[in-house]
Each structure stands twice: as structure tokens, then as C-alpha cells.
Amino acid sequence: MQTALGLSVPPPRVRALEDGTESARVGESYQTPPCRKKRYTRFRIVNARITPALRLMSKSEQLPVDAATFEEWNRAPYPLRVRGGVQHYAWGNTDVIPELLGQANPKHEPFAELWLGAHPDLPAHATIGSGEIALNRLMGAAGPVLLGERAFERFDGAFPFLMKILSATKPLSIQAHPNTEQAESGFARDNHSGLDLDDPKRSYKDDKHKPELISALEDFYALRGFRPLDEVDRTVHDIPELSDLVADRTLTHDGMVKLYVKLMQLPQLEVNRRLIPLMQRLRTANENRKFGKADPEYWAIRADDEFSRDDVKDRGLFSVFLLNLVRLRPGQAMYLPAGEPHSYLEGTGVEIMANSNNVLRGGLTPKRVDVEELLSVLTFKCGKPTVLELESDRGSDTRTRYLTPALEFELSRVQLNSGESDAAGGTRGVQLGIVLDGKLTLNSRGGSNLDLERGQSFLIPYGIPYLMSARETATIFVGSGPG
């Protein structure tokens, strides 16, 4: 039997993998697909029949979605309230995201990222009626409704983007992301090696590229891309611990590439031999004249404090001197294409990216470091980074956006004074939004409305017109997929 969405309806006694694929009937053998976690969830029967919503329930939902309510939404979709998930990485700020969500944090646990999306590592949950469903499971049940038929086909049935609130008090890893071809090849290679998706020896978590955009909500510091060649030349010649590695009097681009590759591939004893005296010299200089956040030396000392252990220096420190140091003011952003080395150093921002978790790291992290794979994806472009400013969104007085070459996403900011409204939707693709300040009411067709306030999130299916009306001054960030 087929549902209206083309999904097979199994008999009541089935069990399911977490990604929604069904096993054989209970009592029959089932071979777990490669790289799938062997965890099962029994269906909870509501209204006596199996529906797409029921097949796609997970244990993390608070209540199952009622079948009749889901079918009604599926016939005439409307905006949904969404609850994101939090990643507690060690570099995270302990205050910003808890305050945004109105949560206590008595143990001062790091709240590094709030995820809003359908990525299986940490999907958001959408409320339909009185129940919840994980967004990746809702995609499996009603993907064409959420994305629109064209986008659903274009992205092979996957949600196109992942949106985050990121808040860092410590430097993140020196990292880059692969392009699509590299991701597909690397993912297949890791699969062929028999590595589970959560195996720490894996370099590729999926087969997708990961272009991304970060928009600063406060002063935001980062390393991004190789500095202009003349700056790299001066820097290397001015650092005695590095200058002997440069054969030419004037550094060429090929020479810069060879230098970086050599630094990243040095044996650990040689890394220590160069970085121990360099960092000792910087610490002495810092005692006489305090370095500030505009100085690479400041971040080198902070990263050394955080990641070097027992006289084992972290090779990621080399990158601090060779990459551009960027300061984003609130409202400014930067776009990171494939192959661009970077590290977020400190600050809070709204991040949006293609729906991937592929990160290749070269240092400044306790996580897996894969220098060879990182070097294989770098583009080694030199120059000053481009800082993006918000631009008017299709002539709107209340909505601005960042223009990037990304096909999967667009990020907009809506600012409303009390009593003002912003109308959108219609021809736009699927949208995820979060209220960063204020209170508003979101109205859509059929009289559906959501009352939203600071820290709350929402989802707008493809093609649904909606109106946001501020009950007090409000700021909203909205991520959109293509229509």
C-alpha cells in the first residue's frame, strides 16, 4: 500500500531504524546497512493505523504526532514552531545560548552551538498539533511539501541547509571543508574502510560539501584564508624560528604552498624545536607590551595555553601567523567556500551552511586531526578576505540579506519596531527562523498563527505566504532554501 507521498505503509508490527528505514517484520532477520548505528525505535500507534508521521517518530520527541493532525497539515501546510538542539563542545560560551533560550545553566556547561535543521547528527523538532517530530523524519514523510517539488529533486530529498547560533570563548580548530567531489570521494573511501559514522577515525561524515556563512552578533574574531603573499613573506622572514625554511629571498606563491605543507608535516620534535622558543619569546614580549586582539601574537598565546600540553606544541599555531586575522563588527559577515582554511577564535554569530558536517582539521583541537586530508582540499588562495554587509532584500524596508554564491541557502535579517510588519513567503523556498530579540506574531493562511519571542524558532514550508507583526521591537534571522 502506498501513501499520498509515495511511501509504503507497513503492517503495524514493524520496527524502524532511526533514519526511518524499516526492518523486516519482528522475528525476521535484518542486516544493518553499512555505517548505520544499530539502534531501533518501536512505533507508537495513534488512531489505530500506521501513517508517515508515526513511521518517522523518534524516542527524543516529547509526544507522538497525531495521525489525523499530520494528514491535515500535509494537505494544507502552515508554519510550525521548532525546537533546536544544543552541541556542548568545549570551546562554547556558558552564558549566551542559555540566556537566549531562557535556560538555567547551574553547572556552567559550555553551550557551543544551537542547531536548527534536519541534519541527523542533531535534528531540530517541529511541533504539529500537540506532538513533536524530528525534522529529518518530517522530511522523510513530507519532503516535497517542505521544500517544494523542484528543490526536493534538486537536493535528492535532503534538507538543503543547516542554521546555527554559534558562541565561542575559545579558538576552534584550524579547518577547511571539502568541495562536493572531494566529499563524495572521501565519504566513499571511509565507507569502504568499514568505519561507522561515529568512528573517531572517520574524516568524512557525509558526501556533501559545506560552504558556510557566519554573521556576527557581537565583535567576532576569526582566522580566514592565507594573507597576501607580501605579508606572508615579511612575517616568515621576521620570525627567526621560521625564516630558515624559506629558500628564496622573496617568497613566491609556490614557495608559500611548500612552506605551509612542510610546516604542517613536520615531525613533532621539529614542531617543538621551532614553536617552544617562538612562544617563549612572545610571552616575554607580552610582559613588556600586552598584545591585543588585533595582534596575531595575542591569539597564538591563547591557543598555546589551550592546546599545547607538556611541551608538546600544537602545529596549528603555525597557521595563526600565516592566515588573515579578521574582526567582524555586529552585522558584518564572511562567506567560506570549499578549501578555505579558517578558525573561529571568539564571539557569537548566526551561521548557515549546506547540510553537512564535514570538517577536516589541522590543529588547535582535541578532535581528530587529519593533516594530509586537510592539505589535499586547500585552495591556497592568498589575499585580503571579503567582509560582507547586509543589503536590502528585494526592496524591503524591514528585511536585509547577505549575497553569496551558495545554492543551498540565503541568510536574512528582519528588524521590526513595535507595530511594524514584514510580509514574505509565497515564492520563497523553505525557511527556518529564530527570534533574537522581542516578541511577534506570525500569521499565515487559514488563520494559523504563532506567538513567538526571544529564543524561539519557526519553520515555513515552501511557498507559504506569512506575515510577522512585532508586538515589541524585534530582530529575527531567517535562513532560506531555494524555491
Catalytic annotation, residues: 361
Burial 301-311 (b: 16+ CB within 10 A, else e): bbbbebbbeee
**Which grid cell is 212?**
558556510
**Which grid cell is 59?**
524516542
Torsion, Cα of 238, 240, 246, 250 (10° steps): 20
- Cα 350 to Cα 8: distance, rounded to the nearest angstrom: 38
Amino acid, res. 356: S
- Cα 378 to Cα 252: distance, rounded to the nearest angstrom: 17
Q: How many Cβ atoms are within 10 Å of 340's Cβ, its own excluded?
A: 23
- Cα 473 to Cα 439: distance, rounded to the nearest angstrom: 7
- 8 Å CB contact between 191 and 35: yes
9 Cβ partners below 8 Å, 6+ apart? 1, 2, 3, 50, 51, 55
**Which grid cell is 416?**
521590526
- 8 Å CB contact between 371 and 203: no
- Our measurement of the distance from residue 67's CA atom to the centroid of its chain's CA atoms, rounded to an integer in Å, reads 32
Residue 288, judged by CB atoms within 10 A of its CB (0-12, 13-18, 19+), counts as exposed
